[in-house]
Structure 1
Amino acid sequence: MVGAGLSGAVIGRKLAEAGHRVTIIDRRSHIGGNCHTERDPETGVLVHVYGPHIFHTDDAGVWDYVNGFETFLPYINRVKTTSQGQVFSLPINLHTINQFYGRTLRPDEAREFIESQADTSISDPQTFEEQALRFVGPDLYKAFFKGYTEKQWGCSPRELPASILKRLPVRFDYNDNYFFHRFQGMPENGYTQMIARILDHSGIDVHLDVRFDPLRAPDYDHVFYSGPLDGYFDYALGRLGYRTLDFERFNYQGDYQGCAVMNFGDREVPFTRITEHKHFAPWEQHDGSVCYREFSRAAGENDIPYYPIRLVEEKEMLAAYVRRADQAEGVTFVGRLGTYRYLDMDVTIREALDTADTYLNHCAAGTAMPSFAFFPL
C-alpha cells in the first residue's frame, strides 16, 4: 500500500484480515494523509492539520465501519459567510434570503421571489456562472458565489463547468445544516487515532518517511498506489493540474469567530475562509483557540495537491495517463490522487472496501486485478 491515508489503511486492513501480509509505506512522518489530526500543545485543541474534514454519509455500511474503530459524536456543519459587511448563514436558506433582501417572506413567497430574480432565459446551464444565475439570480450569485469561486479556483466562474455547483443548495426553510446526509459526526479523538486502529493488525507493517520507487513494484504480489497518478510515471506526460491550500495558522485566547467555518465571499478579502478548530469538537472545552486562514492557489511542483481541476486540458492529459496505467502490471491506482477525482471521505472508504473485495475475488479466480477498480474518466 503506497499511502497510509484512508485508501491504503482500509484496503490494507481488509486484505490483512483475509490472510495477506500487507506493507504500508508513506512519504510523510505520520499516518492519516490529509485527514491527519493532532493536539495543539499550547491550547489542547484537536487540530485538523491539513484543513477540516467533516464526516457525512448516507452509506450505512461505511458509517458502521468507521464507528467500529472510533466513536463518532454528533456534529452538524453550520457554515457562515461574511459578505458585503454582513454575516449570513449558508447554504442559502430562508433566513439568508430574508436577511439579504430585508424581507419577512414565508417559504412559498420566498420560492416565488427567488424565481423572479433568476435568469429564466438560461434553460441549459453550461458554466458555473450560468448555473448560479439560473437558480438564484445576480444578487445572491455576486454575494455568495462569484468572489469565493474566483479565489478558490483562480479563474472566472464563466470558465468552470456547471457541474461544480451540482445541485445548487437553496432551501426555503430555516434549516442551516450544510449537508443533507443521514449520518454526520466527528471522531471523538480524531481521524489519526481512527486510522491507527484500522492499521492495528498483526498482518500489517507500516513504514513512514519512505518514498515509493515504482521499480520495486515487482517485489510485491500487488501494489495499491494512492499517490498522484502522474507521479507514478515521473510526470512523463506533464503534471495534472491541482489547486493547493496555504494555511495561515494563529492562536487566539478565547473564541475568535463563534463558529467552525466562516467563508469570505468578497473578492477583496484574499483568503477564502477561516476555520476555528475547537468548534469541530463541540463536546470539548478550551480557553484557547487554533484558527486557520485558508488561501487557495495553483499547486506547484512541491505543493500538496488538494483539488483536481479536471478541465478540458487536464482531462486530455488524464486520458493519456490512464492509457499508460492500463499497461502497468501489478498495480492498482486508488483514492483521490490515484484516480484524479475529488472524493469525500465516505466515498473513499466505500471504494477502498470494494477495491479490496475486487482484489480478493480476482485472487480466488486466478485472474489479474485491473489498474483501476474505479475508472477515473
Structure 2
Amino acid sequence: MNLLMVGAGLSGAVIGRMMAEEGHDVTILDARDHIAGNCHTERDAETGVMVHVYGPHIFHTDDAEVWEYVNRYETFLPYKHQVRTTSQQQVFSLPINLHTINQYYRKTMRPDEARAFIEEVADKSITDPQTFEEQALRFVGPDIYEAFFKGYTMKQWGVSPTELPASILKRLPVRFSYDDNYFFHAYQGMPENGYTDMVERILDHPGITVKLSTRFTRDMAEAYDHVFYSGPLDGYFDYESGRLGYRTLDFEKFTETGDYQGCAVMNYGDVDVPYTRITEHKHFSPWEEHEGTVCYREFSRECGPDDIPYYPIRLMEEKAMLGTYVEKANAETGVTFVGRLGTYRYLDMDVTIREALDTGRAFLQHAADGTRMPAFAKPPL
C-alpha cells in the first residue's frame, strides 16, 4: 500500500517504520523543518550542550517492549530525574517526600509519624474531592497545598485550582520515605545522542520518504491508501466546530558559565514569580562535561492559533467539543488519528510509542482481514 504519516514525531516514525518493514511505501510529512516533533533535541552552538528544544523530555517506563524498542535505535544511558522547588524563600525536593515534610515543618518525624501528622493537618471534612484544590486540602492540608501546588498550578493552567478536576493532582505522589526519584518506573534513561538522533534512525529505511516544511491538506489523502494523522484533531476539520483548548509554553533561553542551579529542573511555587520553572539542560546528559550551560525559563499561557499546542486542557467545555470532533472522525474513512494531538490526550513518550506499536499492528491485521481500520485505535473519550 501507499501510506501517509502526517507528523514526523514518535507516532509517525514508529508506525511508518513498521509499515515500511512490511513492504509498504511510506511518506512522512511534517510542517516543521525538523523531525522528532516536540522531543526534538539539538546541540547548542555556543556551549555544545544537548538542548531539549521544546522543553525537557525524560524517558521512563515499565513497558519492557517499549524500552527494548527505543534502545534498538539509540543507547539510553542512566539518568535519575530529581526535581527541586523554590517556595517561600526555601528550596525543597519534589515529589513531596519525608525530607520535604520534615524540612517544611522543621520536624524530625519518622515515616509513621509523618503519615499521622499529614492526616491530622488534612481537611477530613472533604470526603469526595471533586476539584484540584479539594484533593490537595484533603490529602496534604492547606500549608503544603499553598507552598507547593497552588501557585504553580495557577501559573501552569491559567485558572484557579477550584476549576480543575481532582484527577490532575492524583498523578502526583506523596512519599513517606526519603526517595526523591521523580519516577518509580523500572526503566529510566536519556538517549546518549538525543531524541532526534533516535528518530532519525527509526526513519532510516528505504521504504520511507520524509518531507519537511510541508503542511498537510486533506486533499492530499486522495493519493494514498490510508493516512495516519498525528496533527491536531480539530485542525484536521479546519476548526469548523471551534478550537480545542491547549496550554502553550514560552521559553526564555539564557546561557551562563559553570553550573547555574545545581539540578535539571527547579520549580517556582510562588505565584508572584511569573515562570513555572527553570530547566538546565546539561543536567539531562550527566555523562557529558561542558564549561557553559544552557537554561530555559518556562512560561505557560493560553495557546493561540499560531502557537505550538502542548497540554490539552480537557475541561467540560473542551470535552463537549471533543465529542463533536470524535463523531466527525468516526465518520471518516481511510484515516486513523494518533498521538497526543490526534487524540487530544496528554501522553508520555513511552505511552505514545506503545500506542503507535499497537495501532500499526491493528492496521496490519485489519488489512489482512479485509476489514476497516477505525478512526481511533485508542478512543479519546
- TM-score with structure 1 length normalisation? 0.99
**Residue 371 of structure 1 aligns to which amino acid in structure 2?**
A
Q: Percent identity?
A: 76
Alpha-carbon distance between aligned partners in 1 of 2:58 and 2:80, rounded to the nearest angstrom = 9
Q: What is the CA distance between 1:167 and its match in structure 2? A: 4.2
Is contact 1:132–1:168 with CA below 8 Å preserved after alignment? no
**Residue 226 of structure 2 aligns to which amino acid in structure 1?**
H
Aligned residue for 1:333?
337
Q: What is the CA distance between 1:253 and its match in structure 2? A: 1.1
Q: Indicate which of 295, 299, 312 corresponds to 1:295.
A: 299
Aligned residue for 1:130?
134
Q: Indicate which of 212, 216, 223 corresponds to 1:212.
A: 216
**Residue 331 of structure 1 aligns to which amino acid in structure 2?**
V
Is contact 1:80–1:261 with CA below 8 Å preserved after alignment? yes
Q: Which runs of 4+ in 1 moved over 6 A?
A: none
Deviation string, structure 1 residues 151-204 (Cα, Å, up to 9, x no partner)? 000000000000111244111110000111110000000000000000001110
Q: Indicate which of 217, 232, 236 corresponds to 1:228.
A: 232
Alpha-carbon distance between aligned partners in 1 of 2:41 and 2:239, rounded to the nearest angstrom = 30
Alpha-carbon distance between aligned partners in 1 of 2:156 and 2:214, rounded to the nearest angstrom = 32
Aligned residue for 1:266?
270
Aligned residue for 1:80?
84
Aligned residue for 1:177?
181
Aligned residue for 2:377?
373
Query: Within 5 A, what are the aligned runs for 1:234-313?
Result: 234-313=238-317
Q: How many residues align?
A: 377
Alpha-carbon distance between aligned partners in 2 of 1:158 and 1:281, rounded to the nearest angstrom = 38
**Residue 21 of structure 1 aligns to which amino acid in structure 2?**
D
- TM-score with structure 2 length normalisation? 0.98
Alpha-carbon distance between aligned partners in 2 of 1:369 and 1:220, rounded to the nearest angstrom = 15
**Residue 188 of structure 1 aligns to which amino acid in structure 2?**
E
Deviation string, structure 1 residues 65-110 (Cα, Å, up to 9, x no partner)? 0000000001111000000000000001010011000001111111
Q: What is the CA distance between 1:368 and its match in structure 2? A: 1.1
| 1:345 aligns to 2:344 (yes or no) | no
Is contact 1:250–1:290 with CA below 8 Å preserved after alignment? yes
Q: CA RMSD in A?
A: 0.6
**Residue 266 of structure 1 aligns to which amino acid in structure 2?**
D
Query: Within 5 A, what are the aligned runs for 1:135-146?
Result: 135-146=139-150
SS in 2 for 1:357: helix
Q: Unaligned stretches of 5+ in structure 2?
A: none
**Residue 217 of structure 2 aligns to which amino acid in structure 1?**
D
**Residue 99 of structure 1 aligns to which amino acid in structure 2?**
Q
Q: Unaligned stretches of 5+ in structure 1?
A: none
Q: What is the CA distance between 1:115 and its match in structure 2? A: 0.7
